[in-house]
């Protein structure tokens, strides 16, 4: 196991209430206690309704908080039910997930995601940018084509690469208990890295996570891929025990 920094990012999706702070509290305690043993960065992305309360309550250097989407419009506007990056930043978010397949499947395009990334970067938020192919695309041999398009149509050379974490999340793997074969995943991570390097300077070091049905048993499989900088964890991040076990087992 290398001593490279690893990201463990929780995506709570549309789950959680004020009482769920106990999950954050336990993860924070674990993060503090294991700070010398594991070189890790823990980020929990919560629903918008919780970010302000949690960020005020959490006084910690050991975990960070984020949200899961925003409207692309930079300032206030007549967009019923929406919040922009600036509002989320002021409510306490440090990170934001953009391009998640849950939102792509509701019609979010690469162009729209690009606008959201721009607006979140303007607010100095850190982006967790999700890409990934559907099952149909995988079956028809279009994985690389899809990933290239998602990257090229949403990422611009002038974006700050060190503010963007890429998360490879095959859509067919999210919430299904199915994960890619390790050899396949290695090739895909390499491909994503090379595509990003084509946009940014050659010596840029893009951070790439894997996400999709990560749990405390399959996490060991992924530790054999040194190129992976961490994990985006959905279902299992809604339990402090499952989330902590994933981190512990990764380093075993």
User: Token digits for 218?
Assistant: 């399959």
Per-residue contact track with ligand PEP, 10 to 49, x per CB under 6 A? -x-x------------------------------------
Would you say 130 or 161 has its CB closer to ligand PEP?
130
Query: Using the rule CB under 6 A, which residue among 66, 99, 206, 211 binds ligand PEP?
Result: 211
Of the chain, the end-to-end C-alpha distance in Å amounts to 9
Give the ranges where the chain is alpha helix by DSSP (H).
Answer: 21-33, 48-57, 85-90, 101-104, 110-122, 135-139, 143-154, 182-199, 219-222, 240-250
User: Token digits for 137?
Assistant: 């695309």
Size of the site for ligand PEP (CB under 6 A): 14
Would you say 206 or 234 has its CB closer to ligand PEP?
234
Whether 169 is a known active-site residue: answer yes
Q: State the nearest-atom distance from the C-beta of 65 to ligand PEP, in Å.
A: 16
Neighbours of 115 (CB within 10 A): 16
Q: State the nearest-atom distance from the C-beta of 56 to ligand PEP, in Å.
A: 26
Residues 162-201 interacting with ligand PEP (rule: CB under 6 A): 169, 174-175
User: Token digits for 233?
Assistant: 């964890």
Whether 100 is a known active-site residue: answer yes
Cα–Cα distance between 87 and 83 in angstroms, integer? 6
Cα–Cα distance between 53 and 62 in angstroms, integer? 18
> Based on C-alpha coordinates, what's the Rg of the chain?
17
Interface with ligand PEP, residue 232, by CB under 6 A: yes
Interface with ligand PEP, residue 230, by CB under 6 A: no
Please pick, among 108, 133, 169, 195, the residue that the annotation labels catalytic.
Answer: 169
User: Token digits for 179?
Assistant: 């994960």
Query: Using the rule CB under 6 A, which residue among 10, 99, 212, 230 binds ligand PEP?
Result: 212
Residue 238, Cα to own-chain centre: how many angstroms? 15
Query: Using the rule CB under 6 A, which residue among 42, 125, 179, 214 binds ligand PEP?
Result: 214
Which residues contact ligand PEP by CB under 6 A? 11, 13, 169, 174-175, 211-214, 232-236
């Amino acid at each position: 196991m290398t001593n490279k920094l690893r990201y463990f990012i929780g995506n709570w999706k549309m789950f959680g209430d004020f009482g769920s702070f106990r999950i954050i509290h336990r993860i924070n305690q674990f993060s503090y206690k294991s700070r010398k043993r594991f070189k890790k960065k823990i980020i929990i992305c919560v629903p918008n309704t919780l970010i302000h309360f949690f960020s005020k309550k959490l006084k910690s250097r050991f975990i960070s908080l984020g949200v899961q989407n925003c409207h692309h419009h930079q300032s206030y506007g007549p967009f019923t039910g929406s919040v922009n990056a600036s509002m989320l930043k002021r409510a306490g978010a440090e990170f934001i997930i953009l391009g998640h397949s849950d939102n792509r499947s509701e019609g979010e395009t690469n162009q729209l995601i690009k606008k959201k990334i721009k607006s979140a970067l303007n607010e100095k938020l850190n982006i967790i940018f999700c890409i990934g192919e559907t099952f149909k695309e995988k079956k028809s041999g279009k994985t690389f084509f899809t990933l290239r398009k998602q990257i090229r149509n949403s990422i611009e050379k002038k974006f700050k690469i060190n503010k963007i974490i890429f998360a490879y999340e095959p859509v067919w793997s999210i919430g299904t208990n199915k994960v890619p074969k390790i050899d396949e995943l290695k090739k895909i991570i390499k491909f994503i890295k090379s595509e990003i390097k084509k946009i940014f300077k050659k010596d840029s070091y893009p951070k790439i996570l894997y996400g999709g049905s990560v749990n405390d048993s399959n996490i060991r499989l992924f530790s054999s891929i040194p190129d992976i900088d961490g994990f985006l964890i959905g279902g299992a991040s809604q339990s402090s025990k499952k989330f902590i076990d994933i981190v512990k087992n990764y380093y075993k």
